[in-house]
Structures are given as C-alpha cells and as structure tokens.
Amino acid sequence: MLLLPSRFNFLLDDELLAFNSSTCALVHFNHSFRKILQNPNAELSVQDNLLRDQMLSCGFLVPSDRDELSTLRSRYLQSQANCDSLAVTIMPTDACNFNCFYCFQDKKSIHMSSDTANALVNFIDSKLYDVKKLKVTWFGGEPLLAINLIHSLSDSLCQLAKRHSCDYEAFIITNGYLLNDSNIQILSRCQIRTVQISLDGDKSTHDSRRFLLRGGHSFNVILRNLKALLERNFNVSCRINLDRSNQHSVPNLLSTLSHFLGSLKSKLTISFALILPISHLDKWNPNLCLSMEELSACVSNFSTCMAELGFNIPDLYPFYPTPKNTFCAAVRHNSFLIRPDGSIGKCFDCDLSVGDVWHGIAHNSATQSNLSQWLNFNPFDDPECKNCFVLPICLGGCPFFRIFRQKKLCLKWKGDLPTSLRQIFYRKGGVSS
C-alpha cells in the first residue's frame, strides 16, 4: 500500500509540533517523523516502521488512493442522514423571568398547552422506530417556569423510550435562578442530569446584564444553585457569554467560582460563547461584539487563568479542536426544535417552521421549502471551504449565518491554530524543544 502525507497536516517546525485536522492528533515529532513524512514509502528500520504505522493510524499518512475530501464529505452526508438517534429540543414556554439586553427571542409568554403536549408526544412516538437513542434538550424562554410540564412530558417521553427499547438522555439550558431544591429533585426524577447555566462575569458585571424581569440581581442565587447541582452530582456547564463590555470581568468570575466551589470546581465544565446580533430583536450595539481574533486572545488568557486556579480545561471548543461530522444539529435529518405553540423548527436562532406536531415535517410547500434550506446546506459546495485546512474541525461554520445572513462565521481555528496548538501542548505537559 502506497502512502501519502495527509492534506490536513499542519506542522509547527519551530516547536516540532504536528497536528492533523481530520483526526485532531497532536504530536511532538522527531527527525524520523519528518523523514517518513517526506518519503513515506521508503525502506525503514523495524522501529521506524512502527512509527510509520502510528502515523498512519493518527492520520498523518493516508493511502495514496484515498481522496480525503471525498471521505470527509461522505462522513458529513452520513452523519446528516443518520437516524440512529432522534434529537429534540423542547420549549415548554417562551416566557422568561430575566430581561437580558442581548436576548434574541421574542418573548410572547406562550406556555405549551396540554393538547400541544399530547400532540408532541405522538409526534416523537412516530419518529422513534429503529431509533437507538432519544436525546431531549429543554430550552426556553426559561424552561423552569414550566417545571410541571417538564415533569409530565418527561414521564411520557421516558415511557416512549422504554417502549421503543431506545436509550434516553436529557439536558436543560436554564438561567439557573429557579433551581431550588424542589426543582432540582424534579430534574433528577425526570432523568435530566446535565444542566447549562450562564454567568456573564463577576457579580457586578453579571447583575448589570442578566437581571430579573421586574428588576433585581441574580448572581448570588445562581451561584448557590450551581453549587447545589454539583453537590448532587449533576453534570454542570457554566457558559460565559462574551463581548467587549464584560471580557475584563471573567478572571474575577473564575476566581469567585474557584473559592466558592472549592474541590467541586473539578466537576464544573466552563465554556465561552460569543454574543452575536442574531435578528431584529437584538436592540443593542453590535459594536460590542468580539472578533474571532479577540475571542482567541480571551480564550488564551482565560485558559491560563483556569489552569492556575485548578479548573479542568475540556478538550472542546474553544479550547481544543475536535473533528466534526456536521457543524450543528440543525442540518441533520433527525433533529428538531419544538416551540410552545407546536410549530417545529431547526435552530434556536431561526423562526422559520419546517412543520408542526399535528401534521408532521414538511407538510406543505412553505415548510418543505424551509426544510430544504437546512438539509441542502453543504460546506463542500463552497470553494473556500473545500480548500481550507480547518474544514474537518469547522465544516463551514454556522449554517444559520450562511443560509439566512449570507455571510460566513468561521471558527477561531482558522486564524489562531498555531498559537492554540502551542498552548495546548504546554498545558498538557509538553516542553519546548
């Protein structure tokens, strides 16, 4: 079998680091590695032959007859059409007890009716044949404002999963304010074991951004509730939404979390997200938005701070590149967002419907057209993406921005991969050559 170097290899010669964006393997290489990469089909010693086998398994070498771009495209299309799992995001209400200045949602205070809830269960039932896992995400508005509906629907969905002999997995995205002991117990009974909560900086910064609808601070309550979740062994992700007005406060937040949580901080996952103008509902200054270059600098500084404070740094975006099959669930056939009025969409940020819980998916010309825009999205149709080294870890970026805003929102790796790889290597115990 003749071998070639992968088109997705990236070498940092000054640090002797090699990275492959298709497998996300990162290695500190030696002279033998470089020699094999330059002439992969040469006669080798026994030891170097073993090294070549390792380079093949890590993706740095590929069979000469493999078209890596076609392979990646096939992986994308297979993932898009895969129906082994059904992913459903349910909004039991679009009402919220917060009044965050950057919120993109139109809060009509609609609560899902019992008739809609029953139709939702029937819709999911119709989609579960031959499905191996049902993945449910609870979203809002603030979903805990409808905790009783979450409880009753969870019972029905767990029974459906049992009847169809498929696994059940549940996750909730909440502002965290209503996570009192009673609601935490209900989440546990509902088999919701993973919770995402947002904190937007230290106390003063967070309370100036994420405050109660009728006024009032939220930071201290959320912090106590977050700790209570960790004490009860929930998987907790603390999401920090970043822009130019709050980035300065993140180190203080990390310090507060470290001291308040103590040893529990090792259980906490911290993530960062850009605040972006999504729709006409974003009535705030878009000049506050960070660029990808600014995000890269922030993540570099914050990860250093996290390491010094003893937080775990996950092998996830934006800390570490990982291979993607699709950028997000919106472009997959078996992933849906169900709103409180029973309409079905594909994305948090897009209000176009692709069906409803009574008639199903693509039941008329409008919903067929809306669905086709998502399912026809293909980064391999874009010449720039096809020739981009980071395609396997980006896959075209956010499809919402590409389809409905006609602009690309590339991930940070496109501009900061060398800096990130160096930092990752040293963080994981590497030493400079």
Q: What is the mean pLDDT of the chain?
A: 93
pLDDT more than 70, % of the chain = 96
Task: Work out the pLDDT band at 387, boundaries 50, 70, 90.
Answer: very high
Residues 6+ apart with CB under 8 A from 327: 379, 394, 395, 396, 397, 398, 399
pLDDT of residue 43: 94
Per-residue pLDDT, 281: 46
Least confident of 6-10, 91-95, 340-344, 347-351: 347-351
Say whether both 54 and 125 belong to one domain.
no
Is 166 within a domain?
Answer: yes
**Average pLDDT of the residues in 221-231:** 98
Averaged pLDDT, 163-176: 98
Handedness of CA 338, 339, 340, 341 (dihedral sign): negative
**348-377, pLDDT tens digit by residue?**
888 899 999 999 999 999 999 999 999 999
The domain tally of the chain equals 2
Beta strand 360-361 with 355-356: parallel, antiparallel or unpaired? antiparallel
The verdict on 141 and 247 lying in the same domain is yes
Q: What is the pLDDT of residue 433?
A: 42
Q: 123 pairs with which residues across the strands?
A: none
Q: Are residues 208 and 133 in the same domain?
A: yes
C-beta pairs of 227-230 under 8 Å, 24+ apart in sequence? 227/260, 227/261, 227/264, 228/179, 228/181, 228/184, 229/179, 229/184, 229/195, 230/261, 230/264, 230/267, 230/268
Domain match, 217 and 307 both:
yes
Give per-residue pLDDT as tens, 90-149. 999 999 999 988 886 666 789 999 999 999 999 999 999 999 999 999 999 999 999 999
How, if at all, do strands 355-356 and 3-5 pair? unpaired
- What confidence score (pLDDT) does residue 279 get? 56
φ, ψ at 97 (rounded to 5°): -90, 0
Paired tokens of 291? 């660029």
**Inside any domain, residue 161:** yes
Taken as a whole, the chain contains a residue count of: 433
pLDDT in tens, 273-329: 988 776 554 455 667 889 889 999 999 999 999 999 999 998 889 999 998 999 999
- Domain of 316 in residue numbering reads as 83-433
Whether 73 maps to a domain, the answer reads: no
Taking Cα atoms as reference points, which of 31, 99, 89 lies closest to residue 338? 89
Quick one: average pLDDT of 143-162?
98
Query: Residue 349 CA to chain centroid, in angstroms?
Result: 14
Identify the three-state secondary structure at position 367: helix
Q: Say if residue 135 is in the same domain as residue 14.
A: no
Going by pLDDT thresholds of 50, 70 and 90, the confidence category of residue 24 is: very high
